């Protein structure tokens, strides 16, 4: 009986651990996205301004 309880506890805590790792992965991905946005901020702004300038010039 104790083996069964031990197996159930391992599964239960294993699932919690995986959820925690998924949260860490999401946090790392968000941090990377923010860092890339900060690094390429001027390039992104220039790109968006150029696109909207072209759309405005085309009367779109």
pLDDT in tens, 15-51: 555 667 788 899 999 999 999 999 999 999 999 999 9
Helices 41-57 and 2-39 cross at an angle (nearest 10°) of 60
How many whole angstroms separate alpha carbon 56 and alpha carbon 53?
A: 5
Which residue do the tokens 């909207």 mark?
52
Q: What are the domain boundaries of the chain?
A: 2-57
pTM metric for this prediction: 0.53
Label residues 6-28 b or e (16+ Cβ within 10 Å = b). eeeeeeeeeeeeeeeeeeeeeee
């Amino acid at each position: 009986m104790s083996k069964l309880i031990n197996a159930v506890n391992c599964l239960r805590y294993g699932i919690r651990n995986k959820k925690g790792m998924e949260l860490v992965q999401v946090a790392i991905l968000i941090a990377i996205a923010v860092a890339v946005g900060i690094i390429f901020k001027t390039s992104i702004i220039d790109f968006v301004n150029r696109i909207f300038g072209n759309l405005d010039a085309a009367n779109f």
